[in-house]
Amino acid sequence: MADILVVGAIPRARPEMFRRLLASFAAMKHPEGIEVVFVFAENAEALSIEHDVEILRDATGCLCDLLVEPRLCVPFARNAVLDHAVERDAKYLVFVDDDEWVSEDWLVNLYTRFAASGANLATGPISPQYIGDLKLNWVQKRLMKGVTQWYAHARTKNCRNAYATKATKLGLLPSTEYAIWIS
């Protein structure tokens, strides 16, 4: 039986961004020998994402579990995904925010690097990108450039600090590319 890797996300009132994430999941490659299960814990009073998730299920053939977490706060919803992953006996758990999207090779690269590392936990950065159709004015361009530079600096600094501390001795894998949380 294949190990289960749960990909969790917490959608909340951002349907266009969530659909973009789902489209990236549909195009994403899966690690060989691993069963990928998507778990979405909508942080709302009731589910509104069933149709969008059904499209993902049809496109990938993967199990897609839907949860509702009425207590408004991301940690409650993340804990619901974590509890669900434990109930499914998942070996791996990855979280992606609903306003992000992943590259085609993201999960394969993440899993391969993590499996080879022997670490218990890996974290990684995000790369900000402007996706709107509108042209940015000079202030917006300046802000976007600053945010992008800040993330690049933080990524370098965090990796350097992790290697310089006891993080590697504790089984934490600093990564310049990936993010994963293992149950």
Domains of the chain, residue spans:
3-126+170-181
Pairing of strands 3-9, 34-42: parallel
4 token code pair: 């289960």
What single letter denotes the amino acid at residue 10? I
Torsion angles phi and psi, residue 129, rounded to 5? -145, 140
What angle is formed at CA 11 by the lines to CA 99 and CA 47, rounded to 5 degrees? 155
Q: What is the pLDDT along the chain (183 residues), one digit of tens a residue?
A: 899 999 999 999 999 989 999 999 999 999 999 999 999 999 999 999 999 999 999 999 999 999 999 999 999 999 999 999 999 999 999 999 998 888 899 899 888 888 888 777 766 566 666 666 667 788 888 887 887 787 777 767 766 665 555 444 444 444 433 343 333
For position 125, what pLDDT does the model report?
A: 60
172 token code pair: 């934490």
pTM above 0.75, yes or no: yes
DSSP 5-57: EEEEE---S-HHHHHHHHHHHHH----TTEEEEEEEEE-SSS---HHHHHHHH
**CB neighbours of residue 7 within 10 Å:** 24
Q: What is the CATH number of domain 3-126+170-181?
A: 3.90.550.10
Q: Please, are residues 112 and 41 in contact by the beta-carbon 8 Å criterion?
A: no
Helical segments of the chain, H only: 15-27, 50-60, 74-87, 106-117, 138-164
For the CA atoms of 56, 3, 66, 127, the dihedral, rounded to the nearest 10 degrees, stands at: -60
Q: Please, are residues 73 and 12 in contact by the beta-carbon 8 Å criterion?
A: no
